[in-house]
Amino acid sequence: MKVIFLGTGGAVPTLERSHPAIAVFFDGEYILLDAGEGTQKQIMRSGLGFAKLTRVFISHLHGDHFLGLFPMIQTLSLLRRKKRLEIYSPVGLKDVLQELIDKAYLEPRFEVKVFEIDNDSSFDFGKYEVKMFHVLHGDTETFGIRVKEADKPGKFDVKKANELGVPITLRGLLQKGIPIKTPSGRLVLPQDVMGPPRRGKLLVYSADTRPCK
């Protein structure tokens, strides 16, 4: 997991700080936590590019947290994106986006799939899990966002594998969790040569909120 802060400003941007947006990069893809005004320009400046963006998670529907979505969708369409973009948000964003698309005569070249959330929700994407949970921000429905990287396999114990007579050609199977038999007929289980799983990194984004449990 790699975290890039694209915007850390408040409701009014400054010359040094853009509206809220955080990119969380995994192997081969990245997601956004919020997408305030100017997010697409910050993506360009960061060198991330748009091709590996797969999902956007919006904490709440105050403009400084989501108004960068529409211009970014327009840019992605102009760049002839084909891959679906998923957006997870509190209820209400779908209608806002559709109204903007209609009024601007924009027909995206790719699917924009909006999932509206009204309860604490968890999503498993394989490489990572995302949990959206309610936090307190006045009368505005607001979600904190928890991103958990998937656990990684433990380290391969080369010394132990040698002692058990595991050929190099079969070690990859053990690393994938598949038992093998050595040329001598000995059954070797993955746990015989693999260390304990390495816990994935964890990121929690509280968005705009006052202290709460």
Supply the CATH number for residue 83's domain. 3.60.15.10
Q: Cβ(108)–Cβ(77) under 8 Å?
A: yes
Q: Which two tokens stand for residue 8?
A: 């850390």
Residue 64 annotated in active site: yes
Per residue in 145-180, pLDDT (tens digit) is 999 999 988 899 999 999 999 999 999 999 988 999
Q: Do 10 and 69 reside in the same domain of the chain?
A: yes
Q: Do 9 and 98 reside in the same domain of the chain?
A: yes
pLDDT at 213: 67
pLDDT in tens, the chain (213 residues): 999 999 999 888 888 899 999 999 998 999 999 999 999 999 999 999 999 999 999 999 999 999 999 999 999 999 999 999 999 999 999 999 999 989 888 889 999 999 999 999 999 999 999 999 999 888 899 999 999 999 988 899 999 999 999 999 999 999 988 999 999 999 999 999 999 988 999 999 988 887 776
Q: Cβ(142)–Cβ(89) under 8 Å?
A: no
Per residue in 120-148, pLDDT (tens digit) is 999 999 999 999 999 988 889 999 999 99
Q: Do 47 and 68 reside in the same domain of the chain?
A: yes
pLDDT at 210: 74
Q: Cβ(132)–Cβ(104) under 8 Å?
A: no
Q: Is residue 139 part of a domain?
A: yes
Q: Is residue 211 part of a domain?
A: no
Q: Do 147 and 163 reside in the same domain of the chain?
A: no
List the one residue out of 24, 21, 17 whose CA is nearest residue 3. Answer: 24
Q: Do 68 and 173 reside in the same domain of the chain?
A: no
Residues facing residue 31 across a β-bridge = 24, 55
**Residue 176: which domain range?**
158-193
Q: Do 8 and 80 reside in the same domain of the chain?
A: yes
Q: Do 138 and 75 reside in the same domain of the chain?
A: yes
Q: Is residue 169 part of a domain?
A: yes
Q: Which of 27, 34, 64, 102 is catalytic?
A: 64
Angle at 28 between CA 32 and CA 201, to 5 degrees: 65
Split into its structural domains, the chain has a count of 2
Q: Is residue 213 part of a domain?
A: no
Angle between helices 93-103 and 69-78 (to 10 degrees): 50
